[in-house]
């Protein structure tokens, strides 16, 4: 039986996919790691790229006749992967394949973890550190409080597919763009019920590719307020508290965009927009005061100028 599948959902990112496959295929073929690509009806040269790598025996391709959307394309990997474990991989991210043998040895140990978090950083062009992998365990609540906000990047997620067969995906959560978060909460709830732990790989083992996407305000609101909140509310959590996760996620992924909203809208509209976010993310009075202070400064000195001042202050402290 195949132990590990690296599952890559892709759509119209032919050159990024080529870079990723060039990095992982030789080592995956050597180690017997399946690489499963789910192509979401790409219209660019993705098909050419996949044919160029078809000589690798461990590469397998799922080809959709129509675009299924991100969530359904990702779930396609769960239902077709041959491995006992599925490591999701963004098509523009890059893993440290030199650590694959060490990761495989860890996955072979019993009892197997139901979910593994792989640490990451943005791709700064620097090489991965040549150090042994550091593994640690966390109970589900500690993981939610300290790490889950960083685990929404799919390339940080390794799932036990045996556990996947025992959780129930809510169809209403499919198509909202947060299926990975829905799955994580289902897995964490199941692990909590079983008295198990989550494994963390504390070393950097993934470099994130493109980073955040710049959305129009209406689209951003739907993704990060409406669909994000719906997914959290619809996901079984077995008494797990997600309040700290919401705050951490807000600070990592939402706060800076809100400052831009404060620049784009007048004061009254900006504050009403913030009130909606505050309700969904359960933000307190201190965050409200911080938002008002920063948006006021943005109107005085400008957004880009304020960012320069903050960066200069941070550099002086270091």
Residues 119, 203 contacting (CB under 8 angstroms): yes
pLDDT in tens, 155-169: 999 999 999 999 999
- Determine the topology of domain 4-208 in CATH: Spore Coat Polysaccharide Biosynthesis Protein SpsA; Chain A (3.90.550)
Band (pLDDT 50/70/90 cuts) for residue 110 is confident
**Bridge partner residues of 118 (DSSP):** 201
Residues 6 or more apart whose CB falls under 8 angstroms from that of 112 comprise 84, 85, 160
pLDDT in tens, 57-109: 999 999 999 999 999 999 999 999 999 999 999 999 999 999 999 999 999 99
- This prediction has a pTM of 0.91
Q: How far is CA 77 from CA 9, 36, 68, 174, in A?
A: 8, 7, 13, 14
**Bridge partner residues of 135 (DSSP):** 201
Band (pLDDT 50/70/90 cuts) for residue 211 is low
282 or 266: whose pLDDT is higher? 282
Band (pLDDT 50/70/90 cuts) for residue 10 is very high
pLDDT in tens, 220-254: 899 999 999 999 999 977 789 999 999 999 999 89
Largest CA distance in the chain: 63
pLDDT in tens, 172-199: 999 999 999 999 999 999 999 999 999 9
Q: Residue 317: what pLDDT?
A: 44
How confident is the prediction for the chain on average, in pLDDT?
A: 91
| 256-267 burial: b if 16+ Cβ within 10 Å, else e | ebbbebbbebee
Question: 32-41, 110-119, 293-302: which range is least confident on average?
Answer: 293-302
Q: Using DSSP bridges, classify how beta strands 198-208 and 115-122 pair: parallel, antiparallel or unpaired.
A: parallel
Q: Residue 314: what pLDDT?
A: 46
d(C-alpha 59, C-alpha 56), whole Å: 6
SS (H, E, C) 266-304: CHHHHHHHHHHHHHHHCCCHHHHHHHHHHHHHHHHHCHH
Q: Is the pLDDT of residue 43 over 80?
A: yes
Q: Residue 292: what pLDDT?
A: 82
**Residue spans per domain, the chain:** 4-208, 242-317
Cis-peptide, bond into residue 111, ω within 30° of zero: yes
Query: Mean pLDDT across the stretch 32-53?
Result: 97
């Amino acid at each position: 039986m195949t132990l590990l599948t690296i599952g890559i959902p892709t759509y119209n990112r032919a050159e990024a996919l080529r870079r990723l496959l060039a990095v992982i295929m030789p080592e995956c073929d050597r180690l017997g790691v399946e690489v499963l690509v789910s192509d979401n009806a790409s219209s660019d040269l993705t098909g050419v790229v996949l044919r160029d790598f078809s000589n690798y025996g461990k590469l397998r391709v799922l080809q959709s006749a129509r675009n299924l959307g991100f969530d359904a394309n990702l779930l396609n990997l769960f239902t077709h992967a041959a491995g006992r474990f599925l490591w999701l991989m963004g098509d523009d991210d890059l893993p440290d394949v030199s650590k694959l043998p060490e990761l495989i040895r860890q996955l072979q140990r019993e009892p197997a973890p139901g979910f593994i978090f792989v640490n990451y950083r943005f791709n700064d062009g620097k090489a991965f550190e040549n150090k042994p992998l550091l593994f640690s365990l966390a109970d589900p609540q500690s993981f939610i409080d300290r790490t889950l906000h960083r685990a929404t990047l799919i390339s940080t997620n390794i799932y036990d597919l045996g556990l996947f067969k025992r959780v129930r995906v809510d169809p209403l959560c499919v198509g909202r763009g947060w299926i990975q978060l829905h799955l994580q909460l289902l897995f964490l709830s199941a692990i909590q019920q079983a008295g198990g732990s989550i494994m963390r790989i504390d070393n950097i083992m993934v470099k994130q590719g493109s980073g955040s996407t710049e959305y129009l305000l209406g689209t951003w609101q739907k993704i990060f307020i409406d669909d994000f909140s719906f997914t959290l509310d619809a996901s079984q959590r077995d008494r797990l508290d997600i309040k700290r996760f919401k705050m951490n996620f807000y600070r990592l992924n939402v706060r800076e965009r809100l400052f831009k909203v404060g620049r784009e809208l007048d004061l009254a509209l900006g504050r009403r927009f913030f009130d909606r976010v505050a309700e969904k993310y359960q933000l307190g009075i201190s965050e409200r005061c911080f938002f008002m202070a920063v948006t006021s400064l943005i109107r005085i000195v400008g957004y880009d100028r304020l960012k320069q001042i903050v960066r200069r202050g941070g550099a002086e402290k270091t």
